[in-house]
């Protein structure tokens, strides 16, 4: 049974069929926020600039009309340009890349696809394995020379912890060629901290003491929860060619407190709200999609250690994303 929302990640797959998807995501982060207030004084010329290129390979196998399993193989490359991370007062680049943390998720449709062509809800549960490196190092420039130190938490391919993945997808036809769609995911990371020293705005490591420094609970990177949600509408504008436009909203976030486990360790909690336009093309067994979310709101609250110290170091956010994917059914 075919479903025209495959470009939104929602599709009915026949038993024993395979879907292979390659998706690409790019973000450039330069805007710094404290709470929901942008802080240009913390940005150029000395502020950090982060570029992240991500490629995910998703392999889905239909166990039955209602059950499927998806393996996600993530690959990431990040480049961070910064002045304040280096004690010599000059701008330098650090980078990290490689395989990220694998995910294996089992999904089921709540209603029989054969009798629910116009609307359905899928739920999924899975596991995230710590296959990505959470301690990639690069050159940091000090007053006495160059040292190898772990790159910033924002660029590490992995987080060092096992996780529990929860997913939801839903769609509803409201007109002949018009669908509403919704999806969401939440990653629970029970581990509180990994063993990677946290980067700092001065010298590559958080100080152990000081009024604006870090206490012992921030000396290592946190293993935080993550979440994402999307809601929107898709309109097929050229049914014969499988061409559709979509418009929705999305939120990407990292919470202050985890559902399971402790909340200490160095993290930059926050969330971004985007307007997400997209174009989708479905032709036979192929699906191609391109989307360009544009941010309308950022918020960087204080972490638990920051709340205890009464400070907020702020964090960088991406003002836009570039998302592209190609899916082939076998």
pLDDT digits (tens, 9 = 90+) for 233-271: 999 999 999 999 999 999 999 999 999 999 999 999 999
Q: Quick count: other Cβ atoms within 10 Å of Cβ 161? A: 22
pLDDT reported for residue 218 = 65
CA proximity to 96, closest of 83, 111, 77? 77
- Segment 262-288 mean pLDDT: 95
Residues whose CB falls within 8 Å of the CB of residue 30, separated by 6 or more in sequence, listed in order: 43, 44, 47, 48, 49, 50, 316, 319
pLDDT value at position 7?
Answer: 55
Q: What is the mean pLDDT of residues 114-131?
A: 95
What confidence tier does 84 reach under pLDDT thresholds 50, 70, 90? confident
What does residue 327 show for φ and ψ, rounded to 5 degrees? Answer: -120, 140
Q: What pLDDT is attached to residue 212?
A: 43
Q: Which residue has the tokens 């941010």?
A: 295
Distant-in-sequence, close-in-space partners of 229: CB < 8 Å, separation ≥ 6: 182, 183, 184, 185, 250, 251
Confidence at residue 85, expressed as pLDDT on a 0 to 100 scale: 82
In angstroms, how far is CA 26 from the centroid of its own chain? Answer: 11
Instruction: Report the alpha-carbon distance of residue 107 to residue 126 in Å, rounded.
Output: 9
| Residue written as token pair 């990994």 | 194
Position with higher pLDDT, 26 vs 241: 26
Q: Are 248 and 229 in contact (CB under 8 A)?
A: no
Q: Is the pLDDT of residue 281 over 80?
A: yes
Give residue-wise pLDDT tens across range 292-309. Answer: 999 999 999 999 999 998
Token digits for 181?
């769609």
Confidence (pLDDT) at 43: 81
Q: Alpha-carbon distance 292 to 314, whole Å?
A: 25
How does DSSP assign 78-109, residue by residue? EEEEESTTSTTSS-EEEEEEEE---EEEEEEE
* Those residues with Cβ within 8 angstroms of residue 257's Cβ, 6 or more apart along the chain or in another chain: 263, 304
| 136 band by pLDDT with thresholds 50, 70 and 90 | very high
What would the mean pLDDT of 219-237 be, rounded to a whole number? 95
Q: Please check the confidence at residue 213 and state whether its pLDDT lies above 90.
A: no
Q: By mean pLDDT, which of 68-72, 89-93, 136-140, 208-212 is the weakest? A: 208-212
State the average pLDDT over residues 183-197: 95
The mean pLDDT value for 200-216 works out to: 43
Average pLDDT estimate for 123-137: 97
Where do the domains of the chain lie, and which CATH numbers do they carry? 6-329 (2.40.160.40)
**Which two three-digit tokens encode residue 49?**
């600039």
C-alpha separations of 289 from 52, 231, 295 in Å: 20, 16, 19
Token digits of residue 46: 């000395």
Q: Are the CB atoms for 167 and 123 separated by under 8 Å?
A: yes
């Amino acid at each position: 049974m075919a479903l025209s929302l495959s470009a939104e990640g929602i599709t009915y797959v026949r038993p024993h069929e395979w879907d292979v998807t390659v998706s690409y995501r790019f973000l450039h982060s330069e805007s710094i926020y404290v709470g929901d207030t942008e802080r240009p004084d913390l940005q150029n010329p000395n502020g950090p600039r982060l570029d992240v290129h991500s490629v995910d390979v998703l392999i889905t196998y239909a166990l039955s009309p209602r059950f499927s399993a998806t393996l996600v193989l993530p690959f990431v490359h990040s480049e961070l340009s910064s002045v304040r991370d280096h004690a010599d007062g000059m701008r330098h680049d650090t980078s990290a890349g490689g395989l990220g943390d694998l995910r294996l998720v089992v999904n089921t449709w709540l209603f029989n696809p054969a009798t629910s062509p116009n609307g359905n809800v899928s739920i999924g549960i899975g596991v995230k394995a710590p296959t990505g490196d959470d301690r990639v190092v690069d050159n940091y420039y000090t007053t006495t020379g160059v040292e190898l130190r772990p790159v910033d938490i924002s660029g590490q391919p992995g987080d060092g912890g096992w996780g529990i993945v929860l997913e939801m997808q839903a769609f509803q036809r409201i007109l002949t060629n018009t669908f509403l769609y919704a999806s969401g995911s939440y990653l629970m990371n029970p581990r509180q901290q990994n063993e990677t020293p946290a980067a700092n705005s001065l010298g590559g490591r958080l100080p152990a003491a000081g009024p604006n420094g870090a206490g012992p609970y921030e000396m290592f990177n946190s293993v935080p929860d993550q979440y994402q949600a999307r809601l929107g509408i898709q309109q097929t504008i050229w049914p014969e060619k499988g061409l559709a436009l979509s418009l929705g909203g999305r939120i990407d976030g990292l919470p202050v407190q985890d559902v399971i486990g402790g909340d200490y360790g160095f993290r930059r909690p926050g969330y971004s709200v985007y307007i997400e336009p997209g174009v989708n093309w479905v032709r036979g067994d192929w699906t191609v999609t391109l989307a360009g979310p544009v941010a309308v709101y950022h918020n960087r609250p204080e972490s638990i250690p920051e709340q205890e110290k009464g400070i907020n170091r702020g964090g960088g956010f991406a003002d836009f994303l570039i998302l592209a994917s190609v899916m082939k059914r076998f």
